[in-house]
Amino acid sequence: MRERLARFLSARIGAPVRVLDLSRKSGGGSRETWLFEAEWQEDGDTRHRPMVLRRDPTASLLESDREREFRLLERLHGLGIPVPRVEWFEPSPDWLDRPFFVMERAPGEPTPPTFPSEADPAQRERAARDFVDILARIHCLDWKKAGLDFLPGPGNARLAARTQLEEWHHLYEKERLAHEPLLDLAFRRLEEKLPVSDRVTVVHADFRSGNYLIDETGHITAMLDWEMTHLGDPMEDIGWACMKFWSGGGRVAGLLDRESFFQRYQEASGIPVDRGRVAFYELLGNVKMTIISMTGVRTLVDGRAADIVLAYVGFMIPRLLEDIARQLGVSA
Partner 1 sequence: MYPRYPDVIRTIQQNLIREIIPDLRTDYAREQATGILVLLEHLVGCWDRAADILREENSDLRDTLREIARTTGGGTGTEDAAKSDLGVASRGEELMAENRELRARLASMIASAADGSAALRLAEGFMARQVERETAAVTGVAPTWD
User: At 27, is the secondary structure helix, strand, or coil?
Assistant: coil
Contact call for residues 64 and 43 (beta carbons, < 8 A): no
The rounded distance, in Å, linking the Cα atoms of 252 and 23 is 32
Out of 122, 177, 196, 301, the only residue in the binding site for partner 1 (CB under 8 A) is 177
Segment interacting with partner 1 (CB under 8 A) among 57-65, 66-74, 193-201, 303-311: 303-311
Q: Closest approach of Cβ 102 to partner 1, in Å?
A: 18
Q: Closest approach of Cβ 175 to partner 1, in Å?
A: 14
Out of 28, 113, 123, 198, the only residue in the binding site for partner 1 (CB under 8 A) is 113
Out of 30, 114, 163, 164, the only residue in the binding site for partner 1 (CB under 8 A) is 114
**Distance (Å) of CA 110 to CA 23, 69, 210, 221, 260:** 16, 20, 6, 10, 23
174 binds partner 1 (CB under 8 A): no
Torsions phi, psi of 45, nearest 5?
-105, 155
312 binds partner 1 (CB under 8 A): yes
Contact call for residues 203 and 236 (beta carbons, < 8 A): yes
250 binds partner 1 (CB under 8 A): no
* Spatial CB neighbours of 147, under 8 Å, sequence gap ≥ 6: 75
How is residue 46 annotated by DSSP? Answer: E
Out of 2, 25, 48, 144, the only residue in the binding site for partner 1 (CB under 8 A) is 25
Residues at the interface with partner 1 (CB under 8 A): 23-26, 112-114, 117, 177-182, 184-185, 188, 210, 246, 248-249, 254, 307-309, 311-312, 315-319, 321-322, 325, 328, 330-332
